[in-house]
Chains A and B, each alone.
Chain A
């Protein structure tokens, strides 16, 4: 187990290296010039050139990449061209907001989603199943920002119960958490239902029933546990996307998180900030998938790879 763990962690190093090349090339190769944005509309060409010089933007792109990686290995993510602050500081300032938001969504959505999915599978074809799947389909098809704006319209403007933005109080968490979690809940409800239905058709479930085990025991210790494998994979992918995918929720609810920092930085072509954020998102994706792989082993000992 520990060898597997170490091997998986080591395997992330070349992966991150390749990702760094892609991230760097993408942001540098798309058109747009941060020097021009910094200099402003009324700047002379030589001023723009001076700014390019200052940030090393006129060097060959490979040199720029090597410079960046050398600095990165020394723990320096570079300085934002927009705000003159170190990128690490910028990210540290924004991260708590996004983490709070993600946490607020992750706290209830997967549990409720899996619960709905499993119960629908058990009550397949019944009214409960139909209503739940209708909710799931609605949650899947309604775009997050639309749900958010509707939530604001109903609960902030019409009813006046909840604030329309910010995470300043517990009340402020309700709408963003709902917006963040809705999609995940719906996806997990669908997946855990189909996964559970599949498992329920397995021979060992029939055997368990045949030997007269209690129905609840059949469901939860035989069927449910085995159906979790698929669900955990989906959960990993969903949570992985949350951190970088929080941008719409952050925009609708005016939360200064990492998603908005990323879009603002891309707009400005703030290279160092974009690179830092994308590398971070990639890293967390890799790590979450690592955790998912390790969880497989916990759920089904047969998958444990040594």
Chain B
């Protein structure tokens, strides 16, 4: 009988092992992976490589995209987080947009000019464009969208257009927008102002627009199950070259392993995002193309300058301590260990995909220098400190890595993982109430702005709750540079001011600078016609399936 039991056990173990070896994760050898794997693969290259290795065809003409989260709202004026934008941008369009290199290019507007003083912009609009509900697109339609924001300031579109003083229709297809002050981010922000049919704004309102689409985009809303999927179909009356696929379905698949499985079985044509640790499961598959794009996400740890030790000293108020922490941190190892090589060492205070990026001299690992700086500042024996971090696996791994690195200069870090909503609440407290000491966090500007990449998290006026400057770092010169650049109309001057600002923050180290994550998505080799923007935004306008 014992023999029979052991035979049964062996069968169970063999089955489990078979499943694990093909589906489980391998953690060995990460140290030997070389830097070649980072950022070099671009969309075009990998696309071509795939078409050579695989001749697989799609069984149908319906594209399925498996995403981690659901759209929060289909009304583009209500929500504008990354996932929602991916979906709503298939149905709605703005006057201008970004290309694959984050340059601003025409969309509903054909061309535009800025006045000398930078206060007025005149747009010439495309003719013959109609909304999904049959209404014509023209200057009046844009004005109605601006007015919607003015009337309901809880809408996101209000924040995006609040600097507009007036919007006037010079003719049916010419529009002049006047601003309260010159603003170098105006066009960047305009890419997020999606134009909704004026008739739909009036008749459907917020409730109606959450259940149907009334944009000018290449796809029309078809059906949706909350938490399940959102399906859009090809807009047959699209005003320019549109999609070849019949439909596009965005499925919500929160579990990472399930998304990978769906891509392998072909149930999904595209999955986003792919966690770095799971890339190797699909890398060798000739039917799958992994897209490894340069990211815009900047990962850092804020150092609250007011953090006070039991003896009254404030270590983070000393720039030498802050610099020492950066010298003690091995960014390359961090990128390899936590992100499996799918991240790069930072060379400024925001990613190089962002406009007006200026390269700085990196803080290369130098323990001796770090120890010397700590000693000079009077902290040779270190100090205890707590770091807050989201309670997801990869975030906690990152914070643990920070803890290990800082132990080398005797800083004793306690990692305190918390649920993200709790952290958001606790970090929104004002300077005299906050308990934050170190916060492991990341930031990205979806509109690729330098201002958007710095102001909210580093400007002296952006202490919580008005912003997220949880380092409570306030540098008058830096603030002034940001303010001057914002209202400047001279490209060269703007670039110069932002370069100076970056240099100051880089030298002053209000944060520990950790990494820029790449954004990883994966698709079946028969998927064609997509554009990937820095940060991983997918443009589906000319989506095609080889079937």
Contact = CB atoms under 8 A, between A and B. Distances in A.
A157 B264 contact: yes
B226 A254 contact: no
B428 A156 contact: no
Contacts of B257: 149, 152, 252
Given A36-B428, A149-B257, A254-B258, A82 B72 contact: yes
A138 B9 CA distance: 11
**Residue among A38, A83, A254 with most chain B CB within 10 A:** A254
A112 to B, nearest CB: 18
A48 interface: yes
Given A84-B206, A149-B23, A254-B258, A165 B153 contact: no
Contacts of A16: none
B437 interface: no
A269 B421 contact: yes
Contact of B159 (A37, A42, A82, A165): A42
B88 interface: no
Interface stretch (B246-254, B409-417, B515-523): B246-254
Given A94-B227, A131-B8, A156-B261, A252 B255 contact: yes
Nearest to B452: A42
Contacts of B70: 264
Interface in B251-271: 251-255, 257-258, 261-262, 264-265, 267
B253 A48 contact: no
A50 B153 contact: yes
Interface in B51-70: 66, 70
B476 interface: no
Interface in A52-73: 54
Contact of B254 (A127, A260, A261): A260
B211 to A, nearest CB: 9
B227 A260 contact: yes
A43 to B, nearest CB: 7
A50 B428 contact: no
A291 to B, nearest CB: 29
A268 interface: yes
Size band of the A side of the interface? Answer: 35 or more
A41 B456 contact: yes
Contacts of A255: 228
Interface in A154-195: 154, 156-158, 160, 163-165
B22 interface: yes
B424 A36 contact: yes
Interface string A232-258: 000000000000000000011111110
A256 B227 contact: yes
Given A47-B153, A93-B226, A42 B456 contact: yes
Given A51-B154, A254-B251, A32 B159 contact: no
**Residue among A39, A48, A152 with most chain B CB within 10 A:** A152
B199 interface: no
A161 to B, nearest CB: 10
Contacts of B156: 40
B13 to A, nearest CB: 11
Interface string B287-301: 000000000000000
B421 A267 contact: yes
B465 A130 contact: no
B4 A164 contact: no
Nearest to A264: B227
B153 A156 contact: no
A150 B13 CA distance: 13
A93 B81 contact: no
A167 B12 CA distance: 28
B368 to A, nearest CB: 39
A93 B227 CA distance: 10
Contacts of A14: none
A127 B4 contact: yes
Contacts of B151: none
A294 to B, nearest CB: 35
B154 A164 contact: no
Contact of B228 (A31, A44, A127, A256): A256
B277 to A, nearest CB: 14
Interface in B443-488: 456, 465-466, 468
B27 interface: no
A267 B251 CA distance: 20
Contacts of B252: 254, 256
Contacts of B8: 131, 134
Contacts of B80: 40
A274 to B, nearest CB: 12
Contacts of A261: 226-227
Contacts of A130: 1, 5
Nearest to A165: B258
**Residue among A252, A257, A268 with most chain B CB within 10 A:** A252
A149 B227 contact: no
A251 B70 CA distance: 13
Given A31-B425, A152-B261, A261-B227, A163 B1 contact: no
A127 B2 CA distance: 9
Given A42-B159, A267-B421, A150 B73 contact: no
Contacts of A156: 261, 265
20 contacts: A30-B422, A31-B422, A31-B425, A32-B419, A33-B421, A36-B425, A47-B159, A50-B154, A51-B154, A54-B154, A127-B1, A127-B4, A130-B1, A156-B261, A157-B265, A164-B262, A165-B258, A255-B228, A256-B225, A267-B419
Given A149-B23, A152-B258, A157-B261, 12 more contacts: A32-B421, A40-B156, A40-B159, A44-B466, A45-B466, A83-B73, A131-B5, A156-B265, A157-B264, A164-B258, A253-B258, A261-B226
Closest 9 CB pairs between A and B?
Answer: A256-B227, A256-B228, A32-B421, A153-B23, A254-B253, A164-B261, A31-B422, A31-B425, A152-B261
Interface of A: 30-33, 36-45, 47-48, 50-51, 54, 82-85, 90, 93-94, 97, 127, 130-131, 134, 138, 145, 149-150, 152-154, 156-158, 160, 163-165, 251-257, 260-261, 264, 267-269
Interface of B: 1, 4-5, 8-9, 12, 15-16, 18-19, 22-23, 66, 70, 72-73, 80-81, 153-154, 156, 159, 206-207, 210, 225-228, 251-255, 257-258, 261-262, 264-265, 267, 419-422, 424-426, 428, 456, 465-466, 468
